[in-house]
Structure 1
Amino acid sequence: MRELTVYNTLTRRKEVFKPVTPGQVKMYVCGITPYNHSHMGNARPFVTWDVIKRYLRHLGYEVTHIQNFTDVDDKIINAANGEEVSWDTITNRYIASYFDVMDKLHVQRADKYPLVSEHMDDIIDMIAGLIRKKHAYELDGDVYYRVTSFKDYGKLSHRSLDDMMAGARIEVDDRKENPMDFALWKAAKPGEPSWDSPWGKGRPGWHIECSAMSLKYLGEPFDFHGGGSDLIFPHHENEIAQTEACCGHGPMVNYWVHNGFITIDSEKMSKSLNNFFLVKDVLEHYSADALRYFLISNHYRSPLDFSDERLTEMTRSLERLGTAIDNTLYLLELPSGGKSAESAQLLAAAEQAKEEYEAAMCDDFNTALASAAMFELAKKINIYKNDVATNNVPADSAVLSEVKRIFKMMTDILGVLEDRWTGKNGSASDKDYAELMEVILELRQECRSQKQYALADAIRDKLAAIGITIEDSPQGACWKK
């Protein structure tokens, strides 16, 4: 198995990946707070982790993937009160919306999507344990985590407690022992959902849910914990403090992996800044493949600037890949003519591209470099197809089958153009077009045989006007949409 290196936010360096259990990977990805439709900034981590999961499985790992929904939150309560509906009406609506757009983006489902509302007993038990161990304290129905009790507090964000206090937006509460102490449990207020607890009716703070859920489903330690860079502090910092204090040891997680922001004119996209684009709205103007490819077109740790120009560029790039897929499928339908120097060159190019693709993905999941190798192979496939069509080079089915396997592996890991391989995107194997196009090509060939070249060219041009390209070769004409 090729050696995989991963950038660990905790150590700020790339490390060789060593799973907790050989052959298995356990990963937890922070999910959404379902109070609105998912925007582009929400989508990036889930597409990123989908690619990571696909690649880990390609390497032979058995992957367990947990992703929560924060379905108890101030924003949900505010939205519910504003619409005069129950809080779970809001969460059910936007969880359904999340799955709708993520399914369109080919994001494979996690193994489990735990909800805060369904894990109150686990959360309450964990809070009670932290109180017993003097890491938390109760005040009038609220429970706070005592940050000074955890000597390693700040190790993920690489800041001292004093630096955090200077830079953080802290909820003022003079009752707290330390301004940085954060809520584990909030006493019930009018108009809010609440649950019974040893400290009275209330609901959890934000951070405790992920500690309780990851510990329940993955244990300690597990392999990967992921999310956006904005979660490093305070959310993931507080998760470490809670979980390692509760268990009495660390590490909670071996590899902390965070993706960069999506920006608009170099400013972070977010609902709070009101500069966000909803995924469902973007999908009305661009294909799901183009949007997905945009989200992985940069290295996941780099910022990604959103624009119509970038999405248009992604559309064009994917069409080049799609043409190579169409050509691969077309060549495999031809009678095999055996080996040639050209087929040997194509096979060598495919093996080289595979080597470069996997080297890039094993270097901290570098999708940008992996894509470059994929496009280079697509270019070589198109050249080979031209050699077959115009230079009487025989189609080597054995080589083409291996090239298809490698090329499809590349697109499958990135999760793009899945329909193109099945012929659902208007390729030469699309049954909806095949019979009609066969008739048209026969009529056009009859025109050429009778030297009615102007009419044959007119047929070609009219088909081009509706997006169907005709290519002539000594073996006959072929088409693609």
Structure 2
Amino acid sequence: AKEFEAYFFKSMDGMGNLRPDVSCRATEHIEAQIALVQKLEQKGFTYKIEDDGMYFDTSKLPDYGKLNPQELSQLREGERIGVVVGKKNPTDFALWKFEKPGEDRQMSWPSPWSERGFPGWHIECSAMSMQYLGEQIDIHTGGIDHIPVHHSNEIAQSEAATGKVPFVRFWVHHNHLQVDGQKMSKSLGNFFTIDDVIERKFNPRALRLLFLQGQYRDQMNFTWESLVAVQTAYDRLARQVQSWGSEVAQLSPQAEKLRQAFFAALADDLKTAQAIATLWEMTKSELPVGEKLQLFREFDAVLQLGFENIQSVELSAEIQQLLQERDKARAEKNWQKADELREKLSDLGHMVADIKL
């Protein structure tokens, strides 16, 4: 498990995700989980199935399943773990499971209900979040596949134990990521990791930019072709930021509008696609480079695209040559050629503004 944990953090670091203050392991919080089950037992929300485990009685909670838009009657018992004989209701779930004779599980602990057993699937999340974040939390994330069962059961056991509603103020459920229009799986040969991205010479932050161009609620389809396009845009953006130098400037009303648009998009259900569109609008604008740099630094403090330490660079011989050719074209009033050269410079990451002095 620690090997996968280390790889997870390595991948997240590469993509620019900040590490949490606390990264807790369920196996190190067994006592807290047992204590929470005991609390539910004392409040009358549990029952015991002999030779199986301690279960939560969902009929004792009138608003059970309130997170799930699907009718509870449509939930099919045993769809994930098989039908359990002795359950009072199809939606009841295990809080603590008993080790069966002869199982000899590697991870098993003593509890008030059996000599050897282990936590149910859901109890660890409530116990650990309560220990570190309190009995009610502001934001809880997870995949949309967790809405019908896992997150519904988290709400039930947490609110039943504490009596405080809501357990979570805001749920952020992200949709699935497909690869070439199919579910990612090893059997299909389309299961990729951050190492695959790096081996193909892509910057992990470019992958981050690709993901930011979609909203978390929307299903996204990954293709290597899409990453090629975003890597090109990422490199162009890097060159632009380098060309802006290091001196920021106070924002004009036009720049302030872009700033407000960017943060308004994020405040509106994390609409990152709109925020990225505002970033591109800013780079193509005629704002002075000092204002562009100031805006970009504010934007990238959120986006974490990896440009915080980028430095200005000398213009290459190619860029200098193109600038000279454009100056000549303008002097000769060859506006078509001047515009073509301006577009070529833009494609190479250099915006040219003609200013009358």
Q: Under TM normalisation by the shorter chain, which class is it?
A: 0.7 to 0.9
Superposition deviation, residue 111 in structure 1: 1.3
8 A Cα contact 2:212 2:276, kept in partner: no
Distance 1:283 1:122, change over 3 A: same
Secondary structure of the structure 1 residue equivalent to 2:139: strand
Distance 1:168 1:314, change over 3 A: same
| SS at 1:148 equivalent | helix
Equivalent in the alignment of 1:422: 310
Deviation at 1:172, TM superposition (A): 1.8
**In 2, are the aligned partners of 1:290 and 1:315 still within 8 Å (CA)?**
yes
Identity %: 36
The answer as to 2:271 corresponding to 1:366 is: yes
Q: CA deviation at 1:327?
A: 1.5
SS at match of 2:110: coil
Q: CA deviation at 1:175?
A: 2.4
> 1:110 Cα deviation (Å)?
0.6
Unpaired runs of 5+ residues, structure 1, are 1-90, 334-342, 385-398, 445-468, 474-481
Give the Cα–Cα distance (whole angstroms) in 2 for the partners of residues 223 and 324 of structure 1.
38
Q: Residue 116 of structure 1: CA displacement?
A: 0.4
Is residue 2:194 matched to residue 1:247? no
Which residue does the alignment assign to 1:282?
197
Structure 2 distance, partners of 1:403, 1:320, is 15
**Amino acid of the residue matched to residue 224 of structure 1?**
I
Aligned residue runs from structure 1 range 62-77, under 5 A? none
Q: 1:470 to 1:253 in 2, by over 3 A?
A: closer
Matched, 1:413 2:318: no
Taking a change above 3 Å as real, the CA distance of residues 275 and 183 of structure 1, as seen in their structure-2 partners, is: farther
Aligned match of 1:375: 280
Conserved? CA contact 1:349–1:377, under 8 Å? no
Cα deviation code 1:371-393 (max 9, x no counterpart): 1111111112xx67xxxxxxxxx
Shift in alpha-carbon separation, 1:470–1:268, aligned structure 2, 3 A: closer
Among candidates 30, 46, 54, match of residue 143 of structure 1: 54
What TM-score results when the alignment is normalised by the length of structure 2?
Answer: 0.80
CA distance in 1 between partners of 2:184 and 2:60 (Å): 35
Deviations 1:120-154 (A, max 9, x none): 11100111111222211222351111122211111
* Alpha-carbon distance change, 169 to 101 in structure 1, aligned in 2, over 3 angstroms: closer
User: RMSD in angstroms over aligned alpha carbons?
Assistant: 2.9
1:312 Cα deviation (Å)? 0.8
CA deviations on 1:237-263 (whole Å, 9 max, x unpaired) are: 110011011112311011111111111
Count residues in correspondence. Answer: 317
Q: TM-score, normalised by structure 1?
A: 0.60
Q: For structure 1, which segment, 185-194 or 274-283, has the greater mean C-alpha deviation from structure 2 after superposition?
A: 274-283
Q: Is the 8 A contact 1:283 1:291 kept in 2?
A: no
Show the counterpart of 1:195. Answer: 109
Q: Residue 271 and residue 162 in structure 1: after superposition, are their counterparts in 2 closer, same or farther (change >3 A)?
A: farther
Checking the alignment, whether the CA contact within 8 Å between 1:322 and 1:417 is kept in structure 2 is no
What is the rounded CA distance, in whole Å, between the counterparts of 2:232 and 2:169 in structure 1?
39
Rounded to whole Å, the distance in 1 between the matches of 2:160 and 2:349 is 67
SS where residue 320 of structure 1 aligns? Answer: helix
Return the offset for 1:321.
1.6
Q: Which of 126, 134, 137 is matched with 2:44 structurally?
A: 134
Contact 1:135 1:146 in 2 (8 A): yes
What SS does the aligned partner of 1:422 have?
coil
1:176 CA displacement: 2.1
Which AA in structure 2 matches 1:263? Answer: Q
Q: 1:256 to 1:184 in 2, by over 3 A?
A: same
1:122 matches 2:32: yes
Letter of the aligned partner of 2:159 in structure 1?
E
Letter of the 1:133 counterpart: K
Task: Tell which has more relative contact order, 1 or 2 (C-alpha 8 A, sep 6+).
Answer: 1
Contact 2:239-2:349 at 8 Å conserved across structures = no
Residue segments in structure 2 that go unaligned for 5+ positions in a row: 322-347, 353-357
Quick check: 1:326 aligned with 2:242?
yes
User: Which deviates the most, 265-274 or 134-143?
Assistant: 265-274
Letter of the 2:307 counterpart: E
- Give the CA deviation at 1:167: 9.3
